[in-house]
Structure 1
């Protein structure tokens, strides 16, 4: 299941939560298809500005950072490079749609592959 955790300044996030969840889900659906809409998980993590540092100092206006969990098998597909590029581009565009162009150059999207059998839902290991 696509799982996105987004770290963003709380002051930037306030009032934009629904729009961000919708845009990020739409970005996932644009790559995977509509079947993924119901299983896409978006978690928004708002941080006070004093709790975000870059280069050993508190960050002044950091861009959002996204950790995107997907099945490791996606990286072995023949079209893996295209999928990765579309996910990174789509997620970045979704964030820019909500927060504006000022964040684009700093948006980080990290795709993390989870091997089959390394995830559990409801106390049961998911093997597919």
Structure 2
């Protein structure tokens, strides 16, 4: 199940939450297909100014950072780089479209792989 955890400044999210959730979900669907729409999870974490630091001091205007939980198997698939590239481009485009082009150059996405049997839903381990 694709799971996106987006860290952004509260001011960047304020009033744009629904649009950002929809745009990020569409970015996932564009790569995986419509089957992923109902299982894509997007969580938005907003930080007030001064609560995000880079280089040992508060950052003035950090771009959003995304932790993207994904099945571990994608990394070893022959088309894995294309899948990750499509997701990276789509997620970055979604964020820049909704929040503004000024954040595009700094959007960071970390893909975190979950091996089979390392995710549980409703108390049951999920296999592939």
- 1:45 is matched with 45
- 1:119 is matched with 119
Give the TM-score taking structure 2 as reference length: 0.98
- The answer to whether residue 73 in structure 2 is matched with residue 73 in structure 1 is yes
Give the TM-score taking structure 1 as reference length: 0.98
- The answer to whether residue 13 in structure 2 is matched with residue 29 in structure 1 is no
- 2:7 is matched with 7
- 1:18 is matched with 18
Q: Distance in 1 between matches of 2:76 and 2:107?
A: 25
Aligned-pair distance for 1:76?
Answer: 1.2
Aligned-pair distance for 1:99?
Answer: 1.1
Q: Distance in 2 between matches of 1:2 and 1:10?
A: 23
Aligned-pair distance for 1:54?
Answer: 0.6
Q: Distance in 1 between matches of 2:10 and 2:3?
A: 20
May I ask how many residue pairs the two structures share in their alignment? 128
Classify the secondary structure of the residue corresponding to 1:118. coil
Dislocated runs of 4+, deviation >4 Å: none
* Aligned residue runs from structure 1 range 85-104, under 5 A: 85-104=85-104
The runs of 5 or more residues in structure 1 that have no matched partner are none
Aligned-pair distance for 1:29?
Answer: 0.2
- 2:108 is matched with 108
Q: Distance in 2 between matches of 1:53 and 1:87?
A: 26
Classify the secondary structure of the residue corresponding to 1:49. coil
Classify the secondary structure of the residue corresponding to 1:51. coil
Classify the secondary structure of the residue corresponding to 2:50. helix
The runs of 5 or more residues in structure 2 that have no matched partner are none
